[in-house]
Structure 1
Amino acid sequence: MTVEIRVSRSPGERRVALLRDGVLAGYRVERPARPDGVGDTLRGRVVSRLPALAGGFVALPGGESGFLPESECEGRRLPPEGTILTLRVTRAAQSGKGLRISARVKQRPSGPLALLERGPDQALRWAAAHPAAPLVVDDPAELARLRAALGPRATGGAAFDDALESEADSLALPETPLPGGGRLIISPLPALTAVDVDSGGADPREANRQALPELTRQIVLRDLAGPILLDLAGLSLKARGALEPAIRSALVGDGLVQALGFGPLGLFEMKRARIHPPLHEVLADRPLARGLALLRLAAREAAAAPHRVLALSAPAPVLDAIRALPGALEEFAARAGRPLVLRDASLEEVSDA
């Protein structure tokens, strides 16, 4: 099997894709100015012990806090309040839950609350997991950073072709097509994610079997986590039960998922470990997601026409989100050799009227 890592950097954003034999098998959107923190090493202070939760809360640098389970402490006992600890972030803040941290790291000398070491980004994590995989990187600064860490494995080139761009865009949509005309409908909710198999008029048994490989793939690509409920297409409870071995087999390749089986409502229940924020949460800030997509297009136009002065016209919330993301506009100016003019589309409409 051939594994390849593609890294596409645009102002304010990094997109990383993992391909196996040319098929998209992993995808992550990162905002370098706002990393999710997983893998970071921090110095924090125990501020409260909560025996009922078998853990406690720890004050972290930047005014953040994290939950430290007793199971992640030396001797499985939470130290007294006020104790300074060296900690590692094991789960990003997501789904309304804060950072999860561990004290099972080498303790460093006591001191003020601080970020001691930043954890690896997704390109470095996948590079470590696949030491023979080459990396294709489309940005000179990003290429220099990865080459410093990985050597000649990282090479410059077009990271995302049109097909990969299209598939990456489709992951923001709630539906994904299946062979034979069916579809998966993916509905993330605060407490769980519901996945519905729509047969599209095909034989339900065949549609469900076709859905299973794509179900696992979409769960991984979208980084869905927490409780996940699968509603198969048009089968009796007894017939659904007959598909349980096939469902469990399809999920085996995902080491983060735990298959629980069918519940009384005929829904197959599974639970996937929460580590990084799911894709729908990363994209939940619609003005920012839209603004970064427009910056990506503007950067391409600037590269194609290096002497043109470019202006970005967008609604005020989109422009405000771009301005609020540290370094995004500065990164555009550094790449393009000139700043990007921002124009409030609503004011332009008033002027035209």
Structure 2
Amino acid sequence: MHLAVAEQGELVDFALWRPGAPDHVGDYFQARIEALVPGMGGAFVDLGLDTAGFLPLPKDAPPLTQGQAITVAVTRAALGGKGVRVRLGTPESTIPPADSARQGSSRLIATGPTPLERLAALWPHASIVVDSPAAAALVPPALRDRKQQGFHTLPEDIAAACSELEETDVDLPGGLSATITPTPALIAIDMDAPPTQGVLPKQTAQYAANKAALPALMRQIRLRNLSGALVIDPAGLAIRKRQALLPPVQEALQADPLRPRCLGVTALGLIEILRPRVLPSLPELLNSPHGRALAALRHIVTHAPGTTSLLVGSRILQALEQDPQAVADCTRAIGHGLNVVLTPSLPDLHWSLAQP
């Protein structure tokens, strides 16, 4: 589900909400210590999820033992193939003491905010508009007084802006463009500019073009939730001139609620930005097994509603098994049943439609 915040016809914030694949940030778990790892400064904990969580332990943390039951809160989603990060803590509305002390398996005891609730908190004066009864049913009671009456289709210009976020190439003001390339270690952003024209010297014109494009680029970083280490290669500007771009970069970052830091310019002339990693980025969500599975279902609904069998690799199948509601929504949209078939000949993150 797309969550878009629009202001005067412009997309100003965006998130994906996938109830069948929660990020767990803000959730509280009854957990157990799986292993203490002093060399990593923490412990691995069993939350009852597919992967263990990591609990950093400061020097003044209370002593813990392997197998001990603890209550933890998730502070960072699973990112880059690593499990969630947690901290010691108890929810404000906690479970009864007798229940919390009960011996048993690790389990979820309190849920954190949904993506809708996070955006609503960031934009407290925004009204909530939904396009279907299914979307309306997901609005929590605390936000229902902000929901407009009726159903409203997402405006075409806002829908187009949301779709463009899935592209790796970005159009920027002044004819500039940027190519975003996520890697396991960092996110590389290469800015490009057309040949300079006019009476200004080339380097003066390139500086002005880069400076004018930076606010739009920082907005794209926020909309896509690009996080971790980011490096930006400005367009056509000599390395010795790039230090002058730091003030406009820092100014453009001030509106970001995650408070990213501009670390400076490297010897190669790359602008370094460190943006805290809390939630998965849009590229991570789209390229995850669950994201690819949803893309397959969306393709069927949009382009091939007569499909009766979806052939999938192993990880796509696992993602759909963990989110049966997604398949149910697809079958309701196309008006007939859909068979999901594991196909060993397909790579584990691929899918195809059965030929009639």
The verdict on a shared fold, with TM-score over 0.5 as the criterion, is yes
SS of equivalent residue, structure 2 residue 34: strand
Partner of 1:110: 101
- Alignment map for 1:60-209 (pairs within 5 Å): 60-71=47-58, 75-77=60-62, 79-106=64-91, 109-111=100-102, 112=104, 113-146=106-139, 148-155=141-148, 156-202=150-196, 203-209=205-211
8 Å CA contact 2:225–2:280 kept in 1: the answer is yes
- Letter of the 2:55 partner, please give it: L
Partner of 2:264: 261
Partner of 2:226: 224
8 Å CA contact 1:49–1:78 kept in 2: the answer is no
Task: Using the TM superposition, give the Cα deviation of residue 46 of structure 1 relative to its aligned residue in structure 2, in angstroms.
Answer: 1.1
Answer with 170-179 or 59-68: which moved more: 59-68
Q: Please give the TM-score of this superposition, normalised by the length of structure 2.
A: 0.82
1:347 and 2:355 matched: yes
Structure that is richer in strand per residue: 1
Task: Using the TM superposition, give the Cα deviation of residue 98 of structure 1 relative to its aligned residue in structure 2, in angstroms.
Answer: 1.4
Tell me how far apart the structure 2 counterparts of residues 104 and 180 of structure 1 sit (CA, whole Å). Answer: 49
Tell me how far apart the structure 2 counterparts of residues 177 and 133 of structure 1 sit (CA, whole Å). Answer: 27
Could you give the per-residue CA deviations for residues 180-221 of structure 1, whole angstroms, max 9, x where no partner exists?
A: 221011111011001111012244222211221111111111
- Letter of the 1:253 partner, please give it: A
Tell me how far apart the structure 2 counterparts of residues 17 and 318 of structure 1 sit (CA, whole Å). Answer: 32
Partner of 1:59: 46
Matched residues, percent identical? 32
8 Å CA contact 1:287–1:317 kept in 2: the answer is no
Task: Using the TM superposition, give the Cα deviation of residue 161 of structure 1 relative to its aligned residue in structure 2, in angstroms.
Answer: 2.1
Does 1 or 2 have the higher relative contact order (CA < 8 Å, sep 6+)? 1
Task: Using the TM superposition, give the Cα deviation of residue 66 of structure 1 relative to its aligned residue in structure 2, in angstroms.
Answer: 0.3
Partner of 1:274: 277
8 Å CA contact 2:30–2:108 kept in 1: the answer is yes
The match for 1:297 among 289, 297, 302 is 302
Could you give the per-residue CA deviations for residues 305-348 of structure 1, whole angstroms, max 9, x where no partner exists?
A: xxxxx523786239965854411232345577x43456974422
Call closer, same or farther: CA 1:335–1:288 in 2, change over 3 Å.
closer
Call closer, same or farther: CA 1:266–1:194 in 2, change over 3 Å.
same
- Give structure 1 stretches of 5+ with no counterpart: 1-13, 302-309, 349-353
8 Å CA contact 2:293–2:320 kept in 1: the answer is no
- Letter of the 1:146 partner, please give it: V
SS of equivalent residue, structure 1 residue 280: helix
Answer with 126-135 or 100-109: which moved more: 100-109
1:21 and 2:15 matched: no
- Letter of the 1:235 partner, please give it: L
Could you give the per-residue CA deviations for residues 81-131 of structure 1, whole angstroms, max 9, x where no partner exists?
A: 222111111111111221001113357522321111222211111223333
Tell me how far apart the structure 1 counterparts of residues 165 and 224 of structure 2 sit (CA, whole Å). Answer: 7
- Letter of the 2:83 partner, please give it: G
Tell me how far apart the structure 2 counterparts of residues 95 and 316 of structure 1 sit (CA, whole Å). Answer: 27
Tell me how far apart the structure 1 counterparts of residues 37 and 110 of structure 2 sit (CA, whole Å). Answer: 28
Q: Please give the TM-score of this superposition, normalised by the length of structure 1.
A: 0.82
1:329 and 2:322 matched: no
8 Å CA contact 2:294–2:326 kept in 1: the answer is no
Q: What number of residue pairs does the alignment pair up? A: 322
- Letter of the 1:18 partner, please give it: V
8 Å CA contact 2:181–2:189 kept in 1: the answer is yes
- Give structure 2 stretches of 5+ with no counterpart: 197-204, 341-351
SS of equivalent residue, structure 1 residue 61: coil
CA RMSD of aligned residues (A): 2.7
